[in-house]
Structure 1
Amino acid sequence: MKVTSGRISQEDREFYKTNGYWVSPVLFDEQEIEDMRKAHDRIWSFDYDGDGFPLDEWRPNSNPKMLRKIDNSWWINDTIKNTVTNPILGQIAAGLMDSTEARLWYDQVIYKPGTGKSDKDTQASGNVGWHQDYIYWRCTNHENLVTAWIALQDTDLTNGCMSVVPGSHTWGLLEGSDAFFNRDLESVKSRIAQESGKDWKEVPLLLKAGQVSFHHAYTIHGSGQNHSDHPRLSVVAHLMPHGTAYKNRGHNVDNIRLLGPRPKEGQLFDNDYFPIAYSAETEQ
């Protein structure tokens, strides 16, 4: 049974603060999950709501075993829009970020293909390399952003669940952590472990359909091959707290374009391209 409130306990907050991740109870019911799975099918078929395009449009690949990822699909799919701005999801994110508000930074829809148990071709497996999300986001005035990863099926090591490195959100930003599309997990792990100088411990996040894992923008995470016969589907919401503003760190990303043609230092990410998922003011 899914929860009906996004209030989290102090114990939950402390776990997240210590480990850099936290797993929710089931937040989405069977009908909502089915709707999100249908949204996947429509998006990969270029069946869009409205006449616009996502921020990063997926293009067909001749290799059926390759990972598919699309950014800001909430622009072109109403189900995804309702999902990534869900107020319960937003309230949990706000609580983990110690904020009165959670705004959408952007979303991702991710399809990890099923390769079957016999396929050992790790170079075409849809692995997601170990990385820190913030390595790709360096245009905000702080790093206190959170990622909410929504499972659309029971997800474990057999079908390529996400694994995290607990406590790695305290290691700072590591230049070697920009390896999302590097499918050689062991070499990436070796490089990041050497750069950080820290002990490496992996924890797989085993989720039931409709559960959500939350992790800090600095938390190192990745995922391996999907050995099942079915794709592993997910919807991902990246969320930011109240007061998040543009800062030129020399690594501007696509999202600054949404501030206008000439973004200014300190300009808030608070326009319609960054919708509110939760606000304590509207709850009162």
Structure 2
Amino acid sequence: MKPITAEQAKLDQQFYEENGYWISPVVFDAEEVEALRKAHDRIWNQDFDGDAFPLTEWFPSDNPTRLRKIDNAWWINDEVYKTVTARKLGKLAANLMNTDEVRVWYDQAIYKPGTGKGQETSVGNVGWHQDYVYWQCTNTTNLVTAWIALQDTDLTNGCMQVIPGSHKWGLLNSDGFFNTELEAVKKQMEVDEKPWREEPLILKAGQVSFHHSYTIHGSRQNYSNDPRLSIVAHYIPQGTAYKKIQNVDNIRLLGPRPKEGDLYDNQYFPLAYSASEEK
């Protein structure tokens, strides 16, 4: 990836602040993408690095067309760890969050099976949702997600779609990630009066899309014959701390359970970027 000038970085930040998402240039080259695709194979075959186990798995065996995902893949795969802590990725996230330090909140390896063109099904969909619904144990909403495409990704293979500007609508009534009926989730969100426009994030392999923790997003069926693979890194800015919320503290964090006000700044939230390293 060519260096981004200070002027371009400012324009990128302004676009993100207005729209709630931003698409990068190609960040990871063909060799890096292939290494991550091989990492996917190892993860789903339960060939883990080190002596850790996955924190959370969603791998339904009863229906091969359903989405698979695993949280904190960096914990059990060295290639994923190298990727989500890559300085070149962390620096892009730092610019969008306007922070001097970026840490990994957690990550996901996501596998959306291909169904081919002849079968209409919703079971591979990801329902409309806002990430912060699941992250309310943080003291800030200024979190950003980086979605790394491991193949060319568009509407034919179920690319992510965002609702531009929805990060300005506040926290809505939905936790719809696993609800594959997208229209039902939209109704639950009560957004009929909002300017709803679905924007597909069309990416080349190695490109990365970023979105704000309030940005509504989801995805539809993968009509191709091949799985749609991605690595998804969620990032927190400097100063992010634990906040206890009644009945919402449902994220499964690595490490000891924190206390009110504890910073997420230890080895369980690895550093991806620090501006001090550039001085």
8 Å Cα contact 1:54-1:74 kept in structure 2: no
Residue number in structure 1 paired with 2:230: 234
Change (3 A) 1:5 1:46: farther
> Tell me, what secondary structure is at the counterpart of 1:53?
coil
Structure 2: give runs of 5+ residues left out of the alignment.
none
Residue number in structure 2 paired with 1:3: 2
Q: Following the alignment from structure 2 to structure 1, what is the Cα–Cα distance between the partners of residues 171 and 58?
A: 28
8 Å Cα contact 1:112-1:231 kept in structure 2: yes
8 Å Cα contact 1:139-1:256 kept in structure 2: no
Report the alpha carbon displacement of residue 6 of structure 1 after superposing the two structures with TM.
Answer: 9.0
- When normalised by structure 1's length, the TM-score is 0.94
**One-letter amino acid matched to 1:91:** K
Out of 127, 130, 134, the position equivalent to 1:129 is: 127
Where do 1:22-171 residues align within 5 Å? Answer: 22-59=22-59, 61-122=61-122, 124=123, 126-171=124-169
Q: Following the alignment from structure 1 to structure 2, what is the Cα–Cα distance between the partners of residues 31 and 4?
A: 19
Change (3 A) 1:245 1:6: farther
Q: Following the alignment from structure 1 to structure 2, what is the Cα–Cα distance between the partners of residues 219 and 254?
A: 19
Size of the aligned set, in residue pairs, is 277
Matched, 1:282 2:259: no
**One-letter amino acid matched to 2:82:** N
Report the alpha carbon displacement of residue 187 of structure 1 after superposing the two structures with TM.
Answer: 1.7
- When normalised by structure 2's length, the TM-score is 0.95
User: CA deviation digits over 1:168-209, x for unaligned, max 9?
Assistant: 001000022x100111112212332x2573121110000000
> Tell me, what secondary structure is at the counterpart of 1:10?
helix
Q: Following the alignment from structure 2 to structure 1, what is the Cα–Cα distance between the partners of residues 60 and 243?
A: 35
8 Å Cα contact 2:145-2:211 kept in structure 1: yes
8 Å Cα contact 1:5-1:88 kept in structure 2: no
User: CA deviation digits over 1:28-75, x for unaligned, max 9?
Assistant: 000000000000000000000112112113445131101000000101
8 Å Cα contact 1:169-1:217 kept in structure 2: yes
> Tell me, what secondary structure is at the counterpart of 1:43?
helix
Change (3 A) 1:255 1:6: farther
Between the aligned residues of both structures, percent identity stands at 61
> Tell me, what secondary structure is at the counterpart of 1:57?
strand
Matched, 1:189 2:199: no
Structure 1: give runs of 5+ residues left out of the alignment.
none
8 Å Cα contact 1:6-1:90 kept in structure 2: no
Matched, 1:203 2:202: no
Q: Following the alignment from structure 1 to structure 2, what is the Cα–Cα distance between the partners of residues 227 and 63?
A: 16
**One-letter amino acid matched to 1:277:** A
Change (3 A) 1:59 1:205: closer
Out of 265, 271, 280, the position equivalent to 2:266 is: 271
Report the alpha carbon displacement of residue 252 of structure 1 after superposing the two structures with TM.
Answer: 1.1
